[in-house]
Amino acid sequence: MVVLNKIYTRTGDDGTTALGGGDRVVKHDLRIDTYGTVDETNAAIGVARLELPAEYRRIDKMLSRIQNDLFDLGADLCVPQKGEEDTDGALRIVSAQVERLESEIDELNSELEPLRSFVLPGGARAAAALHVARTICRRAERRMAELAAVKGENVSEPALRYANRLSDFLFVASRYVNDKGGGDVLWTPGENR
């Protein structure tokens, strides 16, 4: 259980912060930037949820679960995994979370108009907000991939898959709240030449 009695500790005043295991690193460390971008994704989803009309309660429930998952992902990333086998008992993203996202993507996508062009971010306010969350999620995924490529750093395969599927989910959800694709703003290549 997390208990936060005091919000400031002054321990970060020197430009460092603690990872979940207690090791101190500089605040611009790639791992900190990575789970900070996951947190930014979560905040953007919170804003998108505020824009959802009441008839999208099902999407809101999905997004609520995703926000909780993103705290799991942040916890996963803030405790560096030691090697391929992770036996430290840290909270990790699991394949079941990825599979749930895939199922929800398929469920929503089955009701959408087929795509005939790329979609421009826009349409309904909620759709535009979900596109913003999607682009932040893509940045988080790039940071995770960059971190995973650093020698001695590990990012689990389920965590990487989760970030990838989440951006797909946010894309499909944005189309869903755009009148199931009927309100999508489509890209017209070369329109303004």
pLDDT digits (tens, 9 = 90+) for 102-133: 999 999 999 998 888 999 999 999 999 999 99
**5 found inside a domain:** no
**104 found inside a domain:** yes
Total domains in the fold of the chain: 1
**161 found inside a domain:** yes
pTM above 0.85, yes or no: yes
| Domain hosting residue 75, numbered range | 28-84+91-182
Domain holding 111: CATH number? Answer: 1.20.1200.10
**40 found inside a domain:** yes
**H or E segment and range at residue 32:** helix 30-51
**164 found inside a domain:** yes
**59 found inside a domain:** yes
**78 found inside a domain:** yes
When pLDDT is cut at 50, 70 and 90, the band that residue 160 belongs to is very high
Alpha helices in 52-187 (DSSP H): 57-78, 95-109, 125-148, 157-176
